[in-house]
């Protein structure tokens, strides 16, 4: 197989153009308390390193209906479990309408924002929109959410870009508002950032609510995610990141850092840790028969060692068989079982998904 190396991105890692990929060909509930419609693959709630794999595909780079529908249907045909899309201010398509459309044109795919920026919307609106999609999709929605972090987009919309502590304070209140809104009963909340009075909201189909995915990289966010989320997406972002300027370097995450991040999740989760699904996005995929050369090239571009490139959970380099073994090893090593790919990597990753699905 010829080496296929994509240059390291310095822009949005979810910005995949669905019109340029080559041909390619869960309904899992992360917690035992949820109930879901029939017809899906259900992961067990056994120790996390034995959890069934799930695979998501990002279609955030779609620019029109035809390429979007083709991307969603191809993902379903290839055995993916979830369609995801990012949430950004700017010219790209809006995340929740995209996901509602993805559910409409597919039969079994779950849909999830990856991830919504809390600061862009009031949590009451998020809760109602999410419940609506869950109802109209037959219970296939998962809410991915985090604080928001891209300073330029805050400035574009005139949203104050506050320090991380303030954004996380507001985020923690937002999670309480969203969960309370989904309770099926009038809900009251009086916090420093949000106040609601006798609020009612459509009740989602999934019980007690749609699976909640929270993304984070630092200790406070990951402890909060461990305490509140059903799925935790481990981000490679480092302290002080306000945009994509050094994102490529962050992606080469060390083994020690990933273990520390999982430790923070465990601290927040306590005894419920084994019920949490751990996730990463594979930001860089290189299909090649010469993994060492490809890793050295990537390492030189981002200023890390080839070993760090090969070991980062956010990168995959090698033949299809090697990628299968790498994902199995990372599931055993870290407990990471939900992997999200960009659409441009679909041709390279399809045989891997076919091997590990089910």
CA pair distance 285, 161, nearest whole angstrom: 32
The pTM for the full model equals 0.85
List the single range of 9-23, 232-246, 325-339 with lowest mean pLDDT: 9-23
CA pair distance 58, 49, nearest whole angstrom: 24
Q: What is the pLDDT of residues 47-65, one digit of tens each?
A: 444 699 999 999 988 779 9
Q: What is the pLDDT of residues 130-146, one digit of tens each?
A: 999 999 999 999 999 99
What 8-state DSSP symbol labels residue 241?
-
Q: What is the pLDDT of residues 324-347, one digit of tens each?
A: 999 999 999 999 999 999 999 999
Q: Tell me phi and psi for residue 120, to 5 degrees.
A: -85, -15
CA R_g for the chain = 19
Q: What is the pLDDT of residues 140-165, one digit of tens each?
A: 999 999 999 789 999 999 999 999 99
> What residues have CB less than 8 Å from 290, skipping those under 6 apart?
3
Tell me which CATH code domain 48-356 carries: 3.20.20.30
What 8-state DSSP symbol labels residue 141?
B
């Amino acid at each position: 197989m010829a080496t296929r190396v994509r240059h390291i991105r310095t822009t949005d890692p979810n910005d995949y153009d669905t019109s340029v990929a080559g041909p390619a060909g869960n309904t899992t509930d992360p917690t035992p308390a949820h109930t879901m419609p029939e017809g899906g693959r259900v992961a067990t709630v056994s120790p996390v390193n034995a959890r069934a794999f799930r695979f998501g595909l990002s279609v955030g780079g779609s620019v029109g209906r035809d390429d979007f529908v083709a991307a969603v249907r191809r993902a379903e045909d290839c055995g993916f479990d979830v369609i995801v899309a990012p949430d950004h201010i700017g010219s790209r398509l809006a995340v929740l309408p995209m996901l509602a459309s993805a559910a409409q044109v597919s039969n079994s795919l779950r849909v999830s924002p990856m991830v919504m920026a809390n600061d862009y919307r009031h949590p009451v609106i998020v809760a109602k929109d999410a419940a609506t999609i869950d109802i109209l999709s037959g219970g296939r929605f998962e809410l991915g959410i985090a604080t928001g972090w891209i300073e330029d987009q805050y400035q574009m919309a005139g949203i104050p870009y506050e320090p991380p502590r303030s954004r996380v304070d507001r985020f923690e209140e937002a999670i309480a508002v969203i969960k309370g809104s989904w309770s099926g009963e009038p809900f009251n909340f009086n916090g420093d950032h949000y106040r609601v009075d006798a609020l009612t909201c459509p009740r989602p189909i999934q019980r007690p609510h749609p699976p909640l995915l929270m993304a984070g990289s630092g200790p406070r966010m990951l402890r909060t995610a461990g305490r509140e989320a059903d799925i935790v997406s481990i981000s490679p972002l480092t302290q002080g990141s306000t945009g994509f300027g050094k994102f490529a370097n962050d992606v080469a995450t060390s083994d020690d850092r990933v273990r520390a991040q999982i430790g923070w999740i465990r601290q927040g989760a306590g005894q419920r840790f084994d019920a949490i699904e751990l996730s990463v996005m594979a930001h860089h995929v290189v299909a090649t028969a010469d993994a060492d050369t490809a890793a050295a090239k990537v390492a030189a571009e981002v200023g890390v060692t080839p070993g760090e490139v090969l070991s980062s959970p956010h990168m995959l380099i090698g033949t299809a068989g090697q990628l299968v073994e790498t994902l199995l090893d990372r599931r055993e090593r870290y407990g990471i079982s939900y992997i999200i790919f960009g659409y441009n990597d679909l041709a390279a990753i399809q045989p891997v998904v076919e091997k590990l699905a089910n």
